[in-house]
Amino acid sequence: MLRITGQTLTQFVQAEIAEPLGADGLFIGLPEAERTRMAPLFPTSTAKQKERFPALVRFLNRFERTRPLADAMLVPGLDDLFEGPNPPIADTEMAAINGFFTARSLAKMYGAIANGGEFEGNRILGSDTIADFARTQVTTRDYVIFLSMRWRTGFHRAFTTGRQPQNGFGHFGFGGSGGFADLDTGVSVALTLNRVTTTTPVADIRLARIGAAALKVGRRR
């Protein structure tokens, strides 16, 4: 990113996405000036769970099918990055794991994707890019979580309760936060959490329920 644009990833996201959309809560890594807005991140594991962590990793590594899950999700020391009033994860740029968002700002970003790259008169993407986002690249089961994610370029299919959107895609993050865009209805949905509350293999079940309700309203219009 720095070599191509002369900007860090954090700077690029601000200049090309957050500022054009008027999204004041959309960051990769969190600037010092924004730390007072950050909701406390609750520990992802209790002390007793941390004691059992090595044994769990050894157990999962015994089986070929579950070894990728352990390698990807149960990294030693991962919890430490999220803990404390000023967690270390806020100080770096690691787009796969340390986005800091408000739900409204994240929904604005997906709203632009859902509406051809434009939101409230502000264009951030071209129609060709949106078409590329929508194109399914992988149809086999995911190597880590054993589901068919129907991976796009940086996105996977939207998971909702009830009928699944055929042209819905986004990304559900660690602990259940996430969002998606639906090209058929122009609807976008986002949910942000500060406690790890995953209740399905891909996200907190509430995001799937909110998504289903939003799409139902979108189809009536």
Asked if the model's pLDDT at residue 110 lies above 80, the reply is: yes
Asked if the model's pLDDT at residue 196 lies above 70, the reply is: no
pTM of the predicted protein model? 0.87
pLDDT grade for 197, boundaries at 50, 70 and 90: low
pLDDT grade for 160, boundaries at 50, 70 and 90: very high
Domain ranges of the chain: 1-39+84-101, 47-80, 103-220
Question: Got the DSSP string for the chain?
Answer: -HHHHSS-HHHHHIIIIIHHHT-SSEEES--GGGGGGPPP---SS-HHHHHHHHHHHHHHTTSTTTHHHHHHH--TTTGGGG-SSS-GGGGS--TTT-EEE-HHHHHHHHHHHHTTTEETTEE-S-HHHHHHHHS----SBPTTT-SB----SS-EE---SSSPPTTEEEEE-GGG-EEEEETTTTEEEEE--SS----SSSS-HHHHHHHHHHHHHHHH-
Asked if the model's pLDDT at residue 50 lies above 70, the reply is: no
More confident residue, 40 or 6: 6
pLDDT tens, residue by residue, 68-103: 877 877 777 777 787 777 888 888 888 888 899 999
pLDDT tens, residue by residue, 54-66: 787 788 888 888 8
